[in-house]
Structure 1
Amino acid sequence: MNTLLAFIAIFSVLVFVHEWGHLFFAKRAGILCYEFAIGMGPKLFAFERNDTIYTVRLLPIGGYVRMAGEEPEQTVIRPGYEVGLVFDDQQRVTEIIVNNKSKHPEAHVVQVERIDLVHDLYIETIDEDSGELVRYPIHEKAMIVQDEVAQMNAPWHRQFGSKSLGARAMAIFAGPLMNFILAYVILLGLFSIAGFSTNQIDPIEGSPAEQAGLQAGDLIVAVDGNATERWQDMQQAIGERPNQDVAITFEREGAQQEVTLTTGSNYVSEIDEEIGVIGVAPLRESGFVAAVGESATTFVDFATSIFSTLGLILTGEFSLDYISGPVGIYNITDSAVAAGTYQVFFFAALLSVNLGVINLFPIPALDGGRLMFLAYEAIRGKPVSPEKEGAIQFIGFALVMLLMIVVTWNDISKLFS
């Protein structure tokens, strides 16, 4: 149960922050946002505020902000259509009933002669009594009702495409940006309060480190001549040298010294390898000032590790085991919960960085793909046609969903292997 609650909490916060970034900068630019959704599929919960419907959906596989003008409008009203009109006290159209007009006895049914829902906001019809052309102004926040579902009409100045290139790019980039900010804030709080491992060591009794003369408080600065600025650097350098003689350079009371020792080894089942160990525990450091730099370095480590994994594609060493879908993330969450609260927050920060970086990949249907279209527009001087962009986005979305299915199947298969 703890794992499930942690998984839901982490997923919800990461997706909420990501989508909130899109929503905040879109609304700041004046773009009408129809829906802010956490999850996909059927609605579980919904409420409306400030022209936006906020929903929680069944499937925990992402979220979205639906902005006006990003996709073709589903309701098209042309001359010759019969629609029902509802007016306010200033004779402005506040509702346009597309069908099921009998359910709206308050609506005035007319036949459309001309209509502009985007720029000039009017509808023209022939008056039945006088036979004259009558023009009705359409309220800026008029609702279009089709199949008993109401959606606010979006004038051009509230559509995504009407905004400057910079404002549109910011509305898209803001999602990953918020994930990056969240990850850094989590790390900063975690390291400030709970601390982080340093290269100052405390040798375990009887370990190779103690036998070589290392003492508590010694600062390891290099392994076999390779500088180790952080605990992770030293851990990796030692881990790559099981059962080998290594030179350890350390500082004690301001003076550098060097010893040579023979590492031990531990078998790690997750990677099916022996790793080198010297039998030391890290001393920890905490505090806001120290955490600022450590948080930044850890953030960079998280981000660059993704590209290291992708680099394996070029060498032919890539495996689906290196990436995880919802099932795999759930299993990792379970391990983090078992390790304690510190690891849960650490994993949440890692996942937030991953979400932000992956969303910036130039793949249609991801934020990076949308930014790629905007970059193309900046170079070409005009946007890609909505039809072409929509088709490319659809193909990209289908490929992303296919990859998710394959990865999820691989995650499930590993449970039974």
Structure 2
Amino acid sequence: MTAISIILVIGAIIFFHELGHLIMAKRAGILCREFAIGFGPKIFSFKKDETVYTIRLLPLGGYVRMAGEDPEVVDIKTGHDVGLILNDEGKVTKLVLNNKKEYQELLTINVSKIDLLHELIIEGYDADEEKRSFSIHPQALMVHNRQEVQIAPYNRQFGSKTLGQRAAALFAGPFANFLLAFFLLFGYYLYSGIPSTVPQIGTVLEDSPAARAGLVSGDRILQVDQKPIQEWSDLLSIVTVNTGEEMLFTIDRSGVQEQVKITPDVVELEGTNGQTRGMIGVSPLYEKSFIGSLEAGFTTTIDYAKIIFTSLGIMITGGFSIDDLAGPVGIIDMTGQVAQHGIPSLLRWTAILSVNIGILNLLPIPALDGGRLLFLAIEGVRGRPLDPHKEGVVHFVGFALLMLLVLVVTWNDIQRLFAN
């Protein structure tokens, strides 16, 4: 079940990110050649409409391959012999470049002119040296080494679309991650309930300071060290900063006020380099509400994003350490640990990861969505696009460095895993 949980969590985050790209690209009329989960050799694939959907071996991400982003299909030049298959309207539906003997009713011409981008025509001389001219269907297939690839007229390519359409197609991936986090948190709160703001105890942990002091579910906390407690957040703001000193609690139990002394435990926060907080071992009441779950899902998604941005700022200004990062191995290990605590914990953890991936992809790093959006912003300021070749080199170098970082972090994760 842990392995299944890991596959579902990682797969869902990648799937919805790429689905965001796919939906917006298709809405803009861009030909999407492949929707891939993972990198490397194909494990499974099928084709629907114009897109091949694949699962690949290395679960390090995914991609949507849009026409125009990579070098297009095999270039046909004048003088080449090309086999044509026509539909009932006389339009070319297939251009066969080799292995022509495998096809029946194939018309072969020696090309004198061809335009697959704008005019969609092909001209040439047949076996009788007669000049022929044909219109090419905009969804025609080019067949090379028995592999069929759909042609991409310029109006179906990524670069032909408006700046807004291209930006939307790129931004849709991270946005889908935020949307996924919202729905996961909505489901979490709908299932588990929303913590009440009223300072009334819902549960008491066994063998906690609160349990040893005799606090029970239903007790309402009125004061701590003579300070009024109006909301649950007031209690947290006092207890969490305690360093192990005894505190006087005034409680209301079934209409009767009592006073108890509690010394909070001091616990170290994981991953904070020694930061501590006080804890007495109580949690608030939880209320179930559809509307409240929607609101809590939205606000918690925003809160997670703020925390991640704050952490990134601390990393940049306070010094970068490789130990602050987790790669695929570290994420899989943590996901496995969280999965053992049940579905509610797994929903929250998946939401946290999804927000992380969304924000990471929006950073202005070459090869990531944020880096590509930065180039679009520069294009908008300049009024014309940058040299595609130079931009491609920048993204290639950025991707190579990113993969190097992933390898280093993964090695560090493996060492940390075996050390524990």
Same fold per TM (> 0.5)?
A: yes
Q: Which residue of 296, 299, 308 corresponds with 1:297? A: 299
Amino acid in the other structure paired with 2:365: I
Summarize deviations over 1:128-172 as a string: whole Å, max 9, x none: 4355x3221111111111222111001112111222211111111
TM-score, length-normalised on structure 1? 0.87
1:143 maps to a residue whose letter is L
Q: Does 1:336 align with 2:338?
A: yes
TM-score by length of 2: 0.86
Offset, 1:72: 2.2
Aligned to 2:325: 323
Cα-to-partner distance string for 1:312-356 (whole Å, 9 max, x where unaligned): 333444322322121111111111111111101111111111111
1:105 CA displacement: 5.3
Question: Which residue of structure 2 aligns with residue 143 of structure 1?
Answer: 141
1:353 counterpart (346, 352, 355): 355
Separation of aligned partners in 1, 2:225 and 2:103: 79
* Cα 1:105/1:196, change in 2 over 3 Å: same
Residue matched to 1:283? 285
In structure 2, do the counterparts of structure 1 residues 190 and 379 end up closer, same or farther at CA, with 3 Å as the change threshold? same
Matched with 2:378 is: 376
In structure 2, relative to structure 1, the CA distance for the partners of 1:52 and 1:206 (3 Å cut) is closer
Judge which range, 264-273 or 61-70, deviates more: 264-273
2:25–2:32 contact (8 Å) kept in structure 1: yes
Q: In the TM superposition, what whole-angstrom CA distance separates every residue of 1:161-195 from its partner, at most 9, and x where no partner exists?
A: 22221111111111111111111011112102211
Q: In structure 1, what is the Cα distance between the partners aligned to 2:224 and 2:387?
A: 57
The verdict on how the C-alpha distance between 1:314 and 1:13 changes in structure 2, with shifts beyond 3 A counting, is closer
Higher mean alpha-carbon deviation, 103-112 vs 164-173, is at 103-112
For the pair 1:120 / 2:119, whether they are aligned, the reply is: yes
| Cα separation, partners in 2 of 1:82 and 1:267, compared to 1, 3 Å | same
Measure how far apart 1:207 and its partner are.
Answer: 3.2
**Paired position in structure 1 for 2:365:** 363
Residues 201-210 or 40-49, more deviating: 201-210
Q: Distance in 1 between matches of 2:87 and 2:159?
A: 29
Change (3 A) 1:58 1:339: same
- Kept in 2, the 8 Å contact 1:40–1:58? The answer is yes
How far apart, in 1, do the equivalents of 2:396 and 2:335 lie? 31
RMSD, matched Cα:
3.4
Match of 2:21, SS state, is helix
Contact conserved, 1:79 with 1:115, CA < 8 A, in 2?
A: yes
Q: Unaligned regions of 5+ residues in structure 2, if any?
A: none
Amino acid at match of 2:134: Y
Contact kept, 8 Å, 2:376 with 2:385, in 1: the verdict is: yes
| Distance apart, 1:286 and its partner CA | 2.2
Task: State the number of aligned residues.
Answer: 412
Shift in alpha-carbon separation, 1:128–1:289, aligned structure 2, 3 A: closer
Could you tell me how far 1:68 is from its partner in structure 2?
A: 0.9
Give the equivalent residue in structure 2 for 1:28. Answer: 27
How far did residue 390 of structure 1 move?
Answer: 1.3
* 1:222–1:51 distance in 2 versus 1, CA, 3 Å: farther
**Do 2:194 and 2:292's aligned partners in 1 also have CA atoms closer than 8 Å?**
no
